[in-house]
Amino acid sequence: MAQTGHVMDYQNLLDRIHSAVEPVVNAGNNGKVASYIPELAKVNPLQFGMAIVTLDGQTFKVGEADTPFSIQSISKLFALCLAMHGEGESVWQRVGREPSGSPFNSLVQLEKENGKPRNPFINAGALVVTDMLASRHVSPETALVQFCRKLAANDTLDFDAKVARSERRTADRNAAMAHFIKSFGNLHNSVDEVLDSYCKHCAIEMSCVDLARAVSFLANRGTVPWSGEQLLDVSTAKRLSALMLTCGTYDAAGDFAFRVGLPAKSGVGGGIVAIIPGVAGVCVWSPALEETGNSYAGSIALEMLTTLSGQSIF
Amino acid sequence: MAQTGHVMDYQNLLDRIHSAVEPVVNAGNNGKVASYIPELAKVNPLQFGMAIVTLDGQTFKVGEADTPFSIQSISKLFALCLAMHGEGESVWQRVGREPSGSPFNSLVQLEKENGKPRNPFINAGALVVTDMLASRHVSPETALVQFCRKLAANDTLDFDAKVARSERRTADRNAAMAHFIKSFGNLHNSVDEVLDSYCKHCAIEMSCVDLARAVSFLANRGTVPWSGEQLLDVSTAKRLSALMLTCGTYDAAGDFAFRVGLPAKSGVGGGIVAIIPGVAGVCVWSPALEETGNSYAGSIALEMLTTLSGQSIF
Amino acid sequence: MAQTGHVMDYQNLLDRIHSAVEPVVNAGNNGKVASYIPELAKVNPLQFGMAIVTLDGQTFKVGEADTPFSIQSISKLFALCLAMHGEGESVWQRVGREPSGSPFNSLVQLEKENGKPRNPFINAGALVVTDMLASRHVSPETALVQFCRKLAANDTLDFDAKVARSERRTADRNAAMAHFIKSFGNLHNSVDEVLDSYCKHCAIEMSCVDLARAVSFLANRGTVPWSGEQLLDVSTAKRLSALMLTCGTYDAAGDFAFRVGLPAKSGVGGGIVAIIPGVAGVCVWSPALEETGNSYAGSIALEMLTTLSGQSIF
Amino acid sequence: MAQTGHVMDYQNLLDRIHSAVEPVVNAGNNGKVASYIPELAKVNPLQFGMAIVTLDGQTFKVGEADTPFSIQSISKLFALCLAMHGEGESVWQRVGREPSGSPFNSLVQLEKENGKPRNPFINAGALVVTDMLASRHVSPETALVQFCRKLAANDTLDFDAKVARSERRTADRNAAMAHFIKSFGNLHNSVDEVLDSYCKHCAIEMSCVDLARAVSFLANRGTVPWSGEQLLDVSTAKRLSALMLTCGTYDAAGDFAFRVGLPAKSGVGGGIVAIIPGVAGVCVWSPALEETGNSYAGSIALEMLTTLSGQSIF
């Protein structure tokens, strides 16, 4: 758990990060907006926002921190939390907890490991988690949206139906994965139903402030800071943080842990959430991506955050 | 960084862990001693020791904590520290920082990634690190032994020549790996020379107390606590801790981070070192291994340590 | 091309094969009926039939040679012939001509080779061939049934709708494959449409006599022996024979060529068609399968045929 | 078995092929000489030779058909014949008979199949065959040279020590393979010994005439045509022909069978041997290679041979 003792001037920190990162963003040639989902390809890449929500209730922000964006794979974190909330440890009977090595291997690994995905943060694993939600909730997407609203204390957030449809139409890889998992008996609902919900999850829109607030309960041992509601027990919350560190940023998790040293989860919409255990929830957003699928400017911003604050977990 | 504020009664903690773990060890059917190295197969599995060396200089120990054992893959950590000390960041041009996914993939990954091993804690990566040492030191094994002596403040420790020979004779898989890496130009010295040194590194013998002391500089931001010598800069020391967390325990790194939540490095001799950042170096040893190659009782002991102390990094 | 000179007493040959194989079939413990398609699992395994149709118009048969059975993957051969008939050499722009190595690799290979299946006789390849038929014919299954009727000179043959439905309901692996291929742009029609036709193709029912007659045009350099209609040019017909030899019997093609030495195509319904170039079309059927998916008794029967007749192509 | 009836004017055929292929060879930009073995890289690519030795003892030749060249992987065929001669069917307990799919997979396949190489014509398989020879003969290279002398009826042929050394020095991939196989217990002699012999086998030098004569016994059901000595029984000889067809031309075996339709074995020295069952042994040579490792002009020449003569096996 990170130090809670001394007071940190986060606003000053965010301003310094913003100054440093702005030229990188505005150059326009660092990274590329995700193009495989037509609707996402239209997003203006020259945007940057960042927010920190401390456990004592303060919100610090900079840039476009209130602009909603497509959370994409960050939804995998919330879907997992909701599934853990509902199913507890039995989740791990259907999905593993190990880094996946490389995207190249995902289907081989599924074959070798009999349809049990490596972890809940790769697409295969998130499809199984979505299937769990589909077995418990009439509408998994409604359940997840409501869960996110509660976590972010924002009743207006929702998924963007246009983005969801755009993603659904180009979902052949995910459909391949889902059918493959189903052939092993590890998908209980229909592939179409699971894909529909999965694409809606990815299309949820939240701002940096929403997301920093939404993940702060993980920095607070599973308890929502402002309401005191215990959503996950202490041990589960810590363990999900560990999982974010080892598996949260696609195939760059090792490098990300090495450079940033905070549990994090990224999405191809350009958002990255991170937690400073015992201290704060963090979110950064900038749409242009590194080759690994993580936000280019976002990664730099988080690396600066831990360097300047000394607040990595190591 | 973990909390340093309150005083922890580590001796009481170790005694409680010892009581809990002793029946597991003595049952004799939990895990198996590594058998592929003939000399190691002779070790009595019914042994257990644990030591904690705090940054303020106290040593706590329990069980066979002073018995020297074969450190095996823990040597990969020391070899990497020595290489970083000599080569700095250029190490990462020849070896990656990502989890490897699964042993099954190691050779495929090498092929796909043109002979650059995934990380320095898998055999392929350690062979490249050994090659770096062989290019800089007349005798890499002497250099590493001396480095370990300094870290452990124990001038008597050495490698066991019999174990090294036993390992060298059955090193066909490592030889395959080394030749494969060499075919990509990422091994500069002769395969025989590298394998000889590598096997001697693995055969270094240290006790739990030696090892807990030896890794304490990593918990202390790169500075040896008792001498004040800065072996690695703050950032490098933290980053190596991150690497231990994501890659330090073979293919179980994700699960280990999930359960234990401390940077750690294990060896098939049954030892596991771990660090509590800002607080202490830790080592546990028990020769019988889980299927993943990590000490069976050792993993349980470390999980108990973080559960009872609340001192995981998350 | 095989010898045509001397007269062969095929009826005597078939009788000898039947005598030898009957105890193997009746033992009931040599091989297993395919169980993954529920309807096929109901077939009585204690059946055996064989037929030879020579180019000069004679039909020789033994056992249940007139019993219709599910041709399954033998349909891949007819689908390919029909596609070659329609598209010519351009077929090879979308599907390869190399053995696939192992089923284990099929999805990896598809990824590595950008969605171009290894050959038209593995499922992935047959799905692409079916897609070609779907682009040219209003109803690909009707087109293929009519093509088989013409080849077998039997206007009554058709697919079994119950088997097709049974197969379609358990088609998750093929659906995974089809979506994966579509994600690379190598499937032009909808996955559902292609899978529907594919399952109907597999469910076509023909007898040994039908099938031996149907493949005899391939033994006759592409010309239907009794009508003189040239369906494929000489070179194409020979080349398809080569493809049958290298890729026609799943992952056992090497072993099958080694043991039998005739171009052949097998199906999990227990049928195997083979051709003796310049001499005859052959079909054998017995539902119990080897682990490789080829008919257990059928493989033995074909091996006897070439041993007794001396008529392998080598 | 191919037709033996009508007389073929092979000299005229070779002349026509030579005329057609000469501009392809002299263009100098069709294919590349193998460069990974330094000594071989020095060979002049603008060479072409071809020879046909019929079973009735006639020799037809064109171009540089008497120039000795490095037979390279064609030695795998002779090594296998010699091993079959000595060990019989037990050879297949240590090496398989299936096409290997792709070079990319070779090490994965070895791992998956516990160190049993796919077939004797990939490097891994040839290393195991060489190991068999090393267990039976004091000097496997002497034994193989003598076997080739007998087959070619040429007592002067030998391996080129300079090429063997050149190949041995760059043999890291083969060393990786050999150690890997040894780790599974499927290599009984020392890796160094096996590699030494293997490199000498590859460095054997023979001309097109030598090679066409040397393989003619395989076209003659295992019996040396001019001496009547039965080296392999009829069945074994035919089966080796089948193996050549399915596995003899690296990863292009399917395509080669498709285009040429003759059992063949190629080498990176630019040679390809082929057999017309019941008729003749054939050899073509031109050093520039296709990407698949087969002679560029040689493949065209063989395709012309079967097209013009109608003598494919299909």
Residues 6+ apart with CB under 8 A from B257: A242, A243, A245, A246, B245, B246
Q: Which residue has the higher pLDDT, D122 or B8?
A: D122
A/C interface, count of CB pairs below 8 Å: 47
Neighbours of chain A (3+ CB pairs under 8 A): B, C
pLDDT digits (tens, 9 = 90+) for D56-101: 999 999 999 999 999 999 999 999 999 999 999 999 999 999 888 6
> What pLDDT is recorded for position B4?
46
CA dihedral of residues C48, C53, C57, C58 (deg, nearest 10): -50
Chain C touched by D57 (CB under 8 Å): no
Any bridge partners for residue C223, and if so which?
C230
| Nearest chain B Cα distance for residue A9, angstroms | 18
Q: In the predicted model, is pLDDT for residue D116 greater than 80?
A: yes
Q: Do B98 and A5 touch (CB under 8 A)?
A: no
Q: Which of C119, C232, C250, C258 to mutate to test the interface with D (most CBs of D within 10 A)?
A: C258
Name every chain D residue with its beta carbon within 8 A of the beta carbon of B178. Answer: 176
Nearest CA in chain A to B276: A314
Chain D touched by B177 (CB under 8 Å): yes
Q: Which residue has the higher pLDDT, B300 or B107?
A: B300
The complex's ipTM works out to: 0.89
> What pLDDT is recorded for position D1?
42
Nearest by CB to residue D261, choosing from C2, C5, C242, is C242
Any bridge partners for residue B272, and if so which?
B266, B284
Chain C touched by A175 (CB under 8 Å): yes
| Nearest chain A Cα distance for residue C111, angstroms | 8
Nearest by CB to residue A112, choosing from B96, B104, B238, is B104
| Nearest chain D Cα distance for residue B173, angstroms | 5
Which residues in chain A show pLDDT less than 70? 1-7, 101-106
Structure tokens at A33: 């907006």
pLDDT digits (tens, 9 = 90+) for D205-246: 999 999 999 999 999 999 999 999 999 999 999 999 999 999
Q: Do A1 and B314 touch (CB under 8 A)?
A: yes
Q: Do C173 and A179 touch (CB under 8 A)?
A: yes
Bridge-based pairing state of the strands B59-63 and B49-54: antiparallel
Chain C touched by A108 (CB under 8 Å): yes
> What pLDDT is recorded for position D4?
46
Name every chain C residue with its beta carbon within 8 A of the beta carbon of D5. Answer: 5
Under 8 Å between Cβ of C295 and C287:
yes
| Nearest chain B Cα distance for residue A4, angstroms | 8
Q: Do D242 and C109 touch (CB under 8 A)?
A: no
> Does the annotation count C73 as an active-site position?
yes
pLDDT digits (tens, 9 = 90+) for D149-207: 999 999 999 999 999 999 999 899 999 999 999 999 999 999 999 999 999 999 999 99
Return d(Cα A41, Cα A33) in angstroms, integer: 6
The Cα-based distances of A277 to A3, A218, A238, B3, D156 in angstroms read 8, 8, 9, 11, 79
Neighbours of chain B (3+ CB pairs under 8 A): A, D
> What pLDDT is recorded for position B2?
46
Share of chain B above pLDDT 90, in %: 85
Chain B touched by A238 (CB under 8 Å): yes
> Does the annotation count D268 as an active-site position?
yes
Neighbours of A236 (CB within 10 A): 18
Nearest CA in chain B to A275: B314
B/D interface, count of CB pairs below 8 Å: 47
Nearest by CB to residue C183, choosing from A111, A172, A191, is A172
> What pLDDT is recorded for position B102?
63
Q: Do C258 and D97 touch (CB under 8 A)?
A: yes
Q: Do D254 and C99 touch (CB under 8 A)?
A: yes
Q: Do D314 and C1 touch (CB under 8 A)?
A: yes
Chain A touched by C192 (CB under 8 Å): no
pLDDT digits (tens, 9 = 90+) for B9-39: 999 999 999 999 999 999 988 889 988 888 8
Out of B25, B209, B268, B282, the active site residue is B268
| Nearest chain A Cα distance for residue C210, angstroms | 34
Nearest CA in chain D to C218: D314
Q: Which of D172, D182, D184, D186 to mutate to test the interface with B (most CBs of B within 10 A)?
A: D172
Name every chain C residue with its beta carbon within 8 A of the beta carbon of A172. Answer: 179-180, 182-183, 191
Q: Which of B107, B127, B181 to mutate to test the interface with D (most CBs of D within 10 A)?
A: B107
> What pLDDT is recorded for position C1?
42
Return d(Cα A186, Cα B73) in angstroms, integer: 36
Q: Do B98 and A254 touch (CB under 8 A)?
A: yes
Chain D touched by C98 (CB under 8 Å): yes
Alpha-helix runs per DSSP H in chain C = 10-27, 74-87, 106-112, 123-136, 140-152, 161-169, 172-183, 191-202, 208-219, 234-247, 253-259, 296-309
- Amino acid, res. D214: A
> What pLDDT is recorded for position A261?
95
CA dihedral of residues D130, D135, D141, D143 (deg, nearest 10): -120
Please name the residues between 113 and 132 in chain A that touch chain B, using a CB distance below 8 Å. Answer: 118-119
Nearest by CB to residue A107, choosing from C107, C182, C191, is C107
Q: Do B255 and A98 touch (CB under 8 A)?
A: yes
Vertex A207: Cα angle to A239 and A205 (nearest 5): 85
Return d(Cα A311, Cα B3) in angstroms, integer: 12
The Cα-based distances of C40 to B281, C30, C60, C145, C169 in angstroms read 63, 17, 27, 20, 13
Nearest by CB to residue B238, choosing from A255, A261, A263, is A261
> What pLDDT is recorded for position B179?
95
Mean pLDDT for B195-224 is 98
| Nearest chain D Cα distance for residue C164, angstroms | 31
A/B interface, count of CB pairs below 8 Å: 134
pLDDT digits (tens, 9 = 90+) for B265-284: 999 999 999 999 999 999 99
> How confident is the prediction along chain C (314 residues), in pLDDT tens digits per residue?
444 445 689 999 999 999 999 999 999 888 899 888 888 889 999 999 999 999 999 999 999 999 999 999 999 999 999 999 999 999 999 999 988 866 645 677 787 788 999 999 999 999 999 999 999 999 999 999 999 999 999 999 999 999 999 999 989 999 999 999 999 999 999 999 999 999 999 999 999 999 999 999 999 999 999 999 999 999 999 999 999 999 999 888 889 999 999 999 999 999 999 999 999 999 999 999 999 899 999 999 999 999 999 999 99
Query: Helices then strands (H, E): number in chain B?
Result: 12, 7
Residues 6+ apart with CB under 8 A from B183: B115, D172, D173, D176
The Cα-based distances of C76 to A11, B48, B305, C105, D280 in angstroms read 67, 62, 61, 20, 35
Nearest by CB to residue D99, choosing from C5, C101, C277, is C101
Under 8 Å between Cβ of C149 and C56:
no
Backbone angles phi, psi at A138, to 5 degrees: -60, -45
End-to-end C-alpha distance for chain D, whole angstroms: 9
Chain B touched by D172 (CB under 8 Å): yes
Out of D43, D70, D73, D163, the active site residue is D73
Q: Do C254 and D5 touch (CB under 8 A)?
A: no
Neighbours of A67 (CB within 10 A): 14
The Cα-based distances of D228 to A135, D156, D294 in angstroms read 75, 22, 32
Q: In the predicted model, is pLDDT for residue D7 greater than 80?
A: no
pLDDT digits (tens, 9 = 90+) for B152-203: 999 999 999 999 999 999 899 999 999 999 999 999 999 999 999 999 999 9
Out of A76, A182, A200, A265, the active site residue is A76
- Amino acid, res. B248: G
> What pLDDT is recorded for position C4?
46
Neighbours of chain D (3+ CB pairs under 8 A): B, C
Q: What is the pTM of this model?
A: 0.91
Looking at residue C205, what DSSP letter applies?
E
> Does the annotation count D73 as an active-site position?
yes
Q: Which of B113, B131, B179 to mutate to test the interface with D (most CBs of D within 10 A)?
A: B179
Chain D touched by B20 (CB under 8 Å): no
Q: Do A183 and C177 touch (CB under 8 A)?
A: no
Any bridge partners for residue B206, and if so which?
B69
